[in-house]
A and B are shown apart, each in its own frame.
Chain A
């Protein structure tokens, strides 16, 4: 059974977002990593690059497929998870912890509030499965 931590916000494209002041941490959900299968590669953005909400920002590649990751909110990339370069399996092992993708300094710190709650996202995932 996939986990949906309640302190996080989600996108229907399966990214999770955790806000820490004006920085948000982004990764993909437990549900998403399970659906993708073994993650073999993550293409991360450049630190310093600017993105609008909805822009393609990263790519996650599993043995089955390659999927785009979208910027959940507008802002500037301040850090990427360099560990994923050599250990992409962290995305499968700890999607909400060591498997995070990148951090964005947000231009509008209230933007996160408009994203899905854990409950809303979980309902969406369950609907997808049926």
Chain B
């Protein structure tokens, strides 16, 4: 069977044989109001030559700067072995086939990824991944509603200090499913959410750790608050930070119920927004409500170890409309990269990446505060990212810094009007002391050029 799309001639023959006039007519039963219509923003196709030229031009833009932007995607050193191995044909072209068990190598790799994620997060089970951190959070919200049978609520409390892009993605995904997200504001001094005043009727609370500003909410208290009020606790975590901070499985008295996050920091380059990978873990008790594929270890008739898709009755090829999710794809190639990255670094290596990143940020903040012109915006400890406050709007200094080859951070005014003087700055182990010093002088020069 040739792996090529249908030709217009094939389409004509198929339509004629079932007596339908056009492909469009096949979708007649879907009400107009539910259709997205033409994708007007999407340009028509271009040639391979034009495409390569455009993408090379864009790639060159990426290479030029020393970047201090995090805001959800983090530049870490990736050992060369990672993508050298990921690029091998056996991984690069493999897709979980429909008789998945024929691909024992792919299944073993995913099983090892799941094992690593459960150990890193101290959770009981993990799935084979979903698209990215934002969709992982949305799937966690849908899952929490299904799993929390004691609480009939279809409202979920979402910490307002979570990445705004994640909250927006979640709104888009859940709003047509009768689920209401209540976004809880954060404290202006500490940058984190406190205990939600009145319990209200919430199926779950979603908290980010570290949060969007790099700060650390009191996850122990929040987790206990959740469980005392009949809600499930969902943690959105940075995987690198988990080598240093308390993992979600250990939060409060009972641990978080669901833990998700963006797997990009684990060996995946920051490349214009993707492709990334979302990871997802939960307690064993609610595993049947977890979406996505889960690989289990078993033994074959000869008693040898083998791997199989497990708990498939949750999935859409069996449960149809009642499946836990219509996500059945995992980010196989990115999972391969993350698994090789984690196995090369080990727990000691990942912990030293986390410590070096944290120390680098502390150094940068000390350098900046000593100038007297720049303050750390929020009180309390940070992991490897912090909001700094300038005397003038951040958008005025960023272009000047970029001219000097430095991407100075993310302009928080783009998401929070009250924070227009604030820059969200990230430091990882990739930044040397010289880089940190250069950042300081470049920012000061930019401020001086603006009369500060």
Contact = CB atoms under 8 A, between A and B. Distances in A.
Interface of A: 41, 43, 46, 61-62, 65-66, 68
The main secondary structure of chain B at its interface with chain A is helix
Among B288, B313, B319, B322, the one with the most A-chain Cβ atoms within 10 Å of its Cβ is B313
Contacts of B288: 41, 43, 61
A45 B322 CA distance: 16
A66 B288 CA distance: 12
A66 B319 contact: yes
A65 B313 contact: yes
B150 interface: yes
A86 to B, nearest CB: 13
Contacts, number: 16
16 contacts: A41-B288, A41-B313, A43-B288, A46-B149, A46-B150, A61-B288, A61-B313, A62-B313, A65-B313, A65-B318, A66-B313, A66-B314, A66-B318, A66-B319, A66-B322, A68-B322
A46 B314 CA distance: 20
Contacts of B318: 65-66
B60 to A, nearest CB: 52
B206 to A, nearest CB: 24
A19 to B, nearest CB: 27
Contacts of A43: 288
Contacts of B150: 46
A45 B47 CA distance: 57
B211 to A, nearest CB: 34
Contacts of A61: 288, 313
A68 B149 CA distance: 17
Given A43-B288, A66-B319, 14 more contacts: A41-B288, A41-B313, A46-B149, A46-B150, A61-B288, A61-B313, A62-B313, A65-B313, A65-B318, A66-B313, A66-B314, A66-B318, A66-B322, A68-B322
B174 to A, nearest CB: 22
Interface string B308-321: 00000110001100
B105 to A, nearest CB: 25
A101 to B, nearest CB: 16
